Amino acid sequence: MAARGGSAELLIEGVGKRFGDVVALDHVSLSVAQGELLTILGPSGSGKTTLLKVVAGFETPDGGTVKVGGTDISALPPAKRDIGMVFQNYALFPHLTVRANVAFPLEMRNVARTEIDSRVAEALAMVELKGYEARLPKQLSGGQQQRVALARAIVFNPRLLLLDEPFGALDRKLRETMQLEVRRLQRRLGLTTIFITHDQEEALVLSDRIAVMNKGTIQQIATTTEIYERPANDFVADFVGESNIFHGTMSAPGAVTLDGGRTLVVRSDRQAGAKVGVLMRPERFASGGMNQFAGEVIESVYLGTSFKLRLACEGGLELLVRQPARGALPAAGAKVAVGIDPEAIHVF
Residue among 324, 282, 284 nearest 303 (CA): 324
Q: Phi/psi zone of residue 240: left (φ > 0), alpha (ψ -120 to 50 degrees), beta?
A: beta
Of residues 32 through 51, those in contact with ligand ATP by CB under 6 A are: 42, 44-50
Strands 8-19 and 318-324: unpaired
Among 81, 99, 175, 198, indicate the residue that binds ligand ATP (CB under 6 A). 198
Of residues 270 through 309, those in contact with ligand ATP by CB under 6 A are: none
Among 3, 8, 15, 24, indicate the residue that binds ligand ATP (CB under 6 A). 24
Tell me how far apart the alpha carbons of residues 121 and 296 are, in angstroms, rounded to a whole number.
Answer: 62
The least CB distance from residue 194 to ligand ATP, in Å, is 12
Give the list of residues 6+ apart from residue 232 with CB closer than 8 angstroms, or none.
219, 220, 222, 348
Are the C-beta atoms of residues 2 and 33 closer than 8 Å to each other? yes
Q: For residue 49, give the H/E element and its range.
A: helix 48-56
The least CB distance from residue 149 to ligand ATP, in Å, is 18
- Residue 155's φ and ψ, nearest 5 degrees, are -65, -25
Q: In this complex, which beta carbon is closest to ligand ATP, that of residue 42 or of residue 248?
A: 42
Number of residues that bind ligand ATP (CB under 6 A): 12
Q: In this complex, which beta carbon is closest to ligand ATP, that of residue 67 or of residue 215?
A: 215
Of residues 54 through 83, those in contact with ligand ATP by CB under 6 A are: none
Torsion angle of the four alpha carbons 110, 115, 117, 122, in this order, in degrees rounded to the nearest 10: -120
Of residues 89 through 148, those in contact with ligand ATP by CB under 6 A are: none
Are the C-beta atoms of residues 122 and 47 closer than 8 Å to each other? no
Q: In this complex, which beta carbon is closest to ligand ATP, that of residue 124 or of residue 206?
A: 206
Helices (H), 191-340: 200-206, 224-229, 234-239
The least CB distance from residue 270 to ligand ATP, in Å, is 33
Q: Work out the burial of residue 182: count CB atoms within 10 Å of its CB; fewer than 13 is exposed, 13-18 middle, 19 or more buried.
A: buried
The least CB distance from residue 42 to ligand ATP, in Å, is 5
Site mask for ligand ATP (CB under 6 A), range 150-189, x = bound: ----------------------------------------
The least CB distance from residue 312 to ligand ATP, in Å, is 35
Q: In this complex, which beta carbon is closest to ligand ATP, that of residue 47 or of residue 248?
A: 47
Q: For residue 172, give the H/E element and its range.
A: helix 172-189
Q: In this complex, which beta carbon is closest to ligand ATP, that of residue 28 or of residue 237?
A: 28
Strand partners, 68: 10, 71
Q: In this complex, which beta carbon is closest to ligand ATP, that of residue 53 or of residue 322?
A: 53
The least CB distance from residue 43 to ligand ATP, in Å, is 7
Are the C-beta atoms of residues 153 and 84 closer than 8 Å to each other? yes
Stretch that binds ligand ATP, among 18-26, 230-238, 250-258, 339-347 (CB under 6 A): 18-26
Interface ranges with ligand ATP (CB under 6 A) = 19, 22, 24, 42, 44-50, 198
